[in-house]
């Protein structure tokens, strides 16, 4: 199942086999899902741990105002993942279907077109953030210390936006070709390098938030270079063989491929953008509560990110396995994988939530230079709310996997928009302006996952995504039909 023993792999496998034993999922599908999911979950843990360690290092070295500043810059940096994730959403749909149909020429064209699309879309974003970082951060807060820290972080980290997007594309190419292990090696290695660089820049050279940003940029450059060499050569020293080899000298522009990437990827990018865009009004609302609440929320979101890593694996495993089945015109197997992975994901999220809830207080205190900071109890309570909400994220993310694989990406975008902007943010605002208080923030956490969970699962059960997929299947699959 894997090239190295891994306790996380065994835990996920035991959960899947336990569900199979009681008849909730198929045993072979549980094993195949674990093979693809666990490396991606490890990647997520590494990257989210990196993000959490960044905040912890900044908090210890500089203070709570720096944590708030990095938090204010976070949504802007997150645009890299909205851009790259949108294109990558189209990439994995096209790659998985073409890989399942052995249409390797079309697969290579999809990868090259994705690369160009990321660079074109991200370039103007980099320019704007480099030139006007202070102006952007000041839109969210009047706290001058936090604004200064946030502007410094944003200006430097903006240089990494194109590379972060390319990393997502490279990862999705491998996952779509049934190799999440190699993607894990590359991206988790980059995350670990990021932590090491940050330690040197923040503590060794005393560069503060600028050091944290520079470490992020350099690690993303290194990961992009690894994917580029590996995909072009078919292997990378120390990593091993790549499942596909892409000709870097062939055509990069194909109108139909670009159109498919945009059609599929735009709603995926929009869905990612909903998360990012929602942070702007949310941080503005949190600023009403005060600096300690902003810092507490930033800490809780970093911990939330760790809890949410199972979704990285199950969502992409679902997209890959469902997409390959659709590429072979096997809709029954595609549906079976989608159904089983939803159940598998929810069970794993429950385990994750319980573990974090038990150790919430001990985890939160690692993020502050002063354990007696008033931000600590606020963050602990927010983490408890996140533990309840994240279980529904398991449904939302896993149910979105088959929709993404089929190209039916508009519904997950709409569901995320409704959950965040129509329910979650209004609840947070009520908390800041009425006697509802912090309960508004707790309910906001729940709303952002329960609404998408209900809508995405409903769409999956309608089977309309199967019909949508027919227009995106490769020519080889259509010819075999």
**Tens digits of residue pLDDT in 232-275:** 888 888 888 888 888 888 777 777 777 878 787 777 777 677 76
Residue-level pLDDT at 347: 92
Residue carrying structure tokens 């939803």: 342
- Tell me the pLDDT tens digit for each residue of 284-322: 888 888 878 888 888 888 888 888 888 778 877 887 788
pTM of this prediction exceeds 0.75: no
246 or 409: which leads in pLDDT? 246
Q: Which of 45-49, 75-79, 262-266 has the lowest mean pLDDT?
A: 45-49
Q: Can you give the C-alpha Rg of the chain in angstroms?
A: 21
Lowest mean pLDDT across 126-140, 173-187, 430-444: 173-187
Residue 238: predicted pLDDT: 80
- Which whole number is the average pLDDT over 176-196? 81
Q: What is the mean pLDDT of residues 49-66?
A: 69
Which tokens in the block code for residue 297?
A: 């929320």
Instruction: Pick 451 or 370 by higher pLDDT.
Output: 451
Q: What percent of the chain has pLDDT over 90?
A: 15
The answer to whether 378 touches 290, Cβ cutoff 8 Å, is: no
Three-state secondary structure of the chain: CCCCCCHHHHHHHHHHHHHHHCCCCCHHHHHHHHHHHHHHHHHHHHHHHHHHHHHHHHHHHCCHHHHHHHHHHHHHHCHHHHHHHHHHHHHHHHHHHHHHCCCHHHHHHHHHHHHHHHHHHHHHHHHHHHHCHHHHHCCCCCCHHHHHHHHHHHHHHHHHHHHHHHHHHHHHHHHHCCCHHHHHHHHHHHHHHHHHHHHHHHHHCCCHHHHHHHHHHHHHHHHHHHHHHHHHHCEECCCEECCCCCCCCCCCCCHHHHHHHHHHHHHHHHHHHHHHHHHHHHHHHHHHHCHHHHHHHHHHHHHHHHHCHHHHHHHHHHHHHHHHHHHCCCHHHHHHHHHHHHHHHHHHHHHHHHHHHHCHHHHHHHHCCCCCCCHHHHHHHHHHHHHHHHHHHHHHHHHHHHHHHHCCCHHHHHHHHHHHHHHHHHHHHHHHHCCCCHHHHHHHHHHHHHHHHHHHHHHHHHCHHHHHHCCCCCHHHHHHC
Between 209 and 270, whose confidence is greater? Answer: 209
Average pLDDT of the segment spanning 163-175: 85
pLDDT at 64 over 70: no
246: which residues sit within 8 A by CB, 6+ positions away?
A: 108, 111, 112, 173, 231, 232
Tens-place pLDDT, residues 323-355: 778 877 888 888 888 889 999 999 999 988 998
How far is residue 135's CA from residue 384's CA, in Å, rounded to a whole number? 34
Residue 146 token pair: 């936090």
Residue range 276-290, pLDDT digits in tens? 777 778 878 888 888
Percent of the residues in the chain that have a pLDDT greater than 70, as a whole number: 90
What is the rounded average pLDDT for all residues in the chain? 82
d(CA 172, CA 178): 10
* The pLDDT value given to residue 454: 94
pLDDT score, position 476 = 44
Confidence of residue 369 (pLDDT cuts 50, 70, 90): low
- Which whole number is the average pLDDT over 114-122? 85
């Amino acid at each position: 199942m894997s090239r190295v023993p891994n306790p996380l792999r065994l835990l996920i496998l035991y959960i899947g086999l336990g569900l199979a034993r009681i008849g909730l999922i198929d045993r072979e599908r549980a094993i195949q899902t674990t093979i693809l999911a666990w490396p991606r979950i490890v990647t997520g843990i590494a990257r989210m741990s990196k993000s959490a360690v960044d905040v912890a290092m900044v908090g210890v070295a500089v203070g709570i105002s720096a944590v708030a500043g990095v938090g204010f810059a976070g949504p802007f940096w997150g645009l890299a993942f909205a851009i790259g994730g949108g294109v990558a959403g189209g990439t994995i749909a096209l790659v998985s279907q073409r890989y399942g149909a052995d249409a390797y020429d079309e697969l290579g064209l999809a990868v090259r077109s994705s690369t160009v699309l990321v660079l074109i879309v991200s370039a103007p974003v980099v320019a704007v953030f480099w030139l006007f970082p202070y102006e952007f951060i000041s839109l969210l807060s009047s706290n001058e210390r936090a604004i200064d820290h946030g502007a410094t972080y944003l200006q430097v980290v903006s240089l990494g936006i194109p590379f972060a997007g390319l990393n997502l594309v490279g990862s999705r190419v491998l996952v779509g070709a049934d190799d999440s292990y190699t993607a894990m090696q590359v991206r988790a290695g980059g995350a670990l390098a990021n932590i090491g660089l940050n330690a040197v820049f923040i503590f060794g050279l005393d560069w503060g938030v600028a050091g944290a940003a520079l470490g992020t940029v350099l690690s993303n450059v290194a990961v992009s270079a690894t994917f580029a060499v590996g995909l072009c050569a078919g292997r990378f020293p120390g990593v091993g063989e790549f499942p596909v080899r892409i000709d870097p000298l062939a055509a990069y522009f194909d109108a139909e491929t670009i159109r498919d990437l945009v059609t599929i990827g735009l709603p995926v990018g929009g869905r990612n953008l909903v998360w990012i865009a929602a942070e702007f009004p949310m941080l503005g609302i949190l600023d009403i509560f005060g600096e300690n609440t902003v810092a507490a929320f930033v800490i809780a979101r970093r911990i939330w990110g760790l809890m949410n890593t199972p979704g990285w694996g199950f969502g992409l495993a679902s997209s890959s396995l469902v997409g390959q089945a659709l590429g072979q015109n096997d809709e029954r197997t595609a549906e079976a994988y989608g159904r089983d992975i939803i159940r598998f994901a929810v069970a794993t999220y429950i385990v994750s939530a319980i573990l974090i809830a038990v150790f919430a207080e001990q985890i939160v205190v690692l993020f502050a230079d002063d354990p007696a900071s008033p931000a600590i109890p606020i963050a602990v309570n927010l983490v408890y709310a996140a533990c309840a909400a994240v279980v529904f994220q398991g449904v939302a993310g896993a149910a979105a996997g088959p929709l993404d694989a089929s190209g039916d990406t508009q519904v997950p975008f709409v569901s995320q928009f409704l959950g965040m902007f129509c329910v979650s943010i209004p609840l947070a605002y009520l908390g800041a302006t009425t006697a509802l208080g912090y309960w508004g923030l707790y309910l906001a956490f729940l709303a952002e996952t329960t609404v998408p969970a209900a809508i995405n699962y409903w769409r999956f059960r309608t089977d309309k995504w199967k019909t949508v997929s027919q227009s995106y299947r490769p020519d080889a699959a259509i010819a075999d039909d």
